[in-house]
Chains A and B, each alone.
Chain A
Amino acid sequence: MSWTPSDAYAVITRHYLLLSFGGSLGVLQIAAGLAGLRGIWLLPSAVATRWLGLAIITASVALFLIAPVWVEGPWAAGSAEADSATRQWGKAAWSELAGAYNVNDIHGGVSGTEQAVWLPMGFAMALAICLVSGALRAKRRGPVGDAETPDGLDGLKTHGYQSVLPRSWAVFRRDLQSEIGREFDGRRHRYGLPARIARLWRRG
């Protein structure tokens, strides 16, 4: 089958998005397990959460690398040869798997700039799943301890995101006038560019 760079791009982008989603989900679970952020755990214990994160990362990378065996793409023949322009469309043989994704971006590979768009999307999906799952678990279980919900990630140590979000926003609004105003008033960061611009603006 003849193929165009946009055919290859569609397939590789889909695989990359899944890889970045799985990688982000795994990293979030490991980090949340280490930092004790119960509000984004997918499992009830820190140790299990960390192991789950490692398993998700391993599975995502393995799936990404071997997917060309059953998914058609620009890797049917010629992956072991360097030039991605001369390849056939189809499924890859096991012997050609290692170089399957080595496709130049002018032939449909995902460039660094495009990766900087797809990766945050994968991360956002992973974070959404963690927050929703943590919120559902926290709702069922109730908060850990009797303390008032702290704001920010500290709140996720004891509460679900549904409690942390309104509390964090309330604290931010309360501090907005005093602290954020002080950040911008030109004294604390008087050599920073924004403070200089603000001073010039005030002078007219």
Chain B
Amino acid sequence: MNLFDRATLEWLNGLHGFAPLDGAMRVIATDYLLPLAFALSLVALWFIGKGREQRFNFQMTVLHGMFAVGLANVAVWQINLAWDRPRPFEALPGQLDLLFYPPTDPSFPANPVAVGFAVGAAIWRVNRMFGAAVLVSAAFFGFSRVYAGVFWPTDIIGGAAVGMVGAWGAVWFRRLLEPLPTLFIRVARAVGLA
């Protein structure tokens, strides 16, 4: 553990005790709400395009976002195999107030943050405001997990980097798979859904 990680984590942990803030962080940190919001932002993007050209562009971005999530998850899995970084509550036993269940997988990089950043970075390419909203939500999600005591701050930075690289790699991956992504959209249009 480095000085930055420990100092930041201990400072945030020292803020615990104000029930409304602790409650809000517990809700934000939950496994279900923000990951669902990331997925539904791709659903919205699929339908939201105005003209045929913009809609095709947005729908290609949805596929790009899904590839990015897949690549980010593979990258997180490989990094986890290479480095089993202990969680903060394991490295500092008895010194932290934990607001979340103790996860059993390695700490670095933060998987949920990687997913959020992969989706946000993919959307950013076609809609800056929408993409920025998803990226800020992903960053806030990461902050809540650090506040709760289950991630180090550098896990969040690492997760964000993995998500961004996943989104970049997905551009190449999607090109490699062409014309299958285009065909997928054509088939979706054939059933009236693209």
Contacts and interface: CB of A to CB of B under 8 A. Distances in A.
Contacts of B182: 183
Interface stretch (B1-9, B161-169, B185-193): B185-193
A105 B115 CA distance: 18
Interface in A181-204: 183-184, 188-189, 191-195
B50 A24 contact: no
B111 A193 contact: no
Is chain B's interface secondary structure helix, strand, loop, or mixed overall?
helix
B176 to A, nearest CB: 5
Contacts of B103: 104
Interface string A155-199: 110000100110111011101000110011000110111110000
Is chain A's interface secondary structure helix, strand, loop, or mixed overall?
helix
B30 interface: yes
A138 interface: no
The winner among A31, A169, A171, A184 for most chain B CB atoms within 10 A is A31
A168 B179 contact: no
B48 A168 contact: no
Contact of A101 (B24, B30, B73, B180): B30
Interface in A96-124: 97-99, 101-107, 109-110, 112, 115, 119, 123
A71 interface: no
A24 B43 contact: yes
A82 B98 contact: yes
Interface in A1-48: 16, 19-20, 23-24, 27-28, 30-32, 34-37
A49 interface: no
Chain A's interface size range is 35 or more
B79 interface: no
B179 A154 contact: no
Interface of B: 22-24, 26-27, 29-33, 35-37, 39-40, 43-44, 46-50, 52, 55, 73, 98-104, 111-112, 115, 149, 175-180, 182-183, 186-194
The 9 closest A-B pairs by CB, nearest first: A172-B190, A98-B23, A183-B179, A82-B98, A31-B47, A152-B189, A98-B26, A164-B192, A192-B178
24 contacts: A19-B36, A27-B44, A31-B48, A82-B99, A98-B27, A99-B99, A102-B29, A104-B102, A104-B103, A106-B104, A107-B101, A110-B31, A153-B194, A167-B192, A168-B190, A168-B191, A171-B189, A171-B190, A179-B186, A183-B179, A184-B179, A188-B179, A192-B176, A194-B178
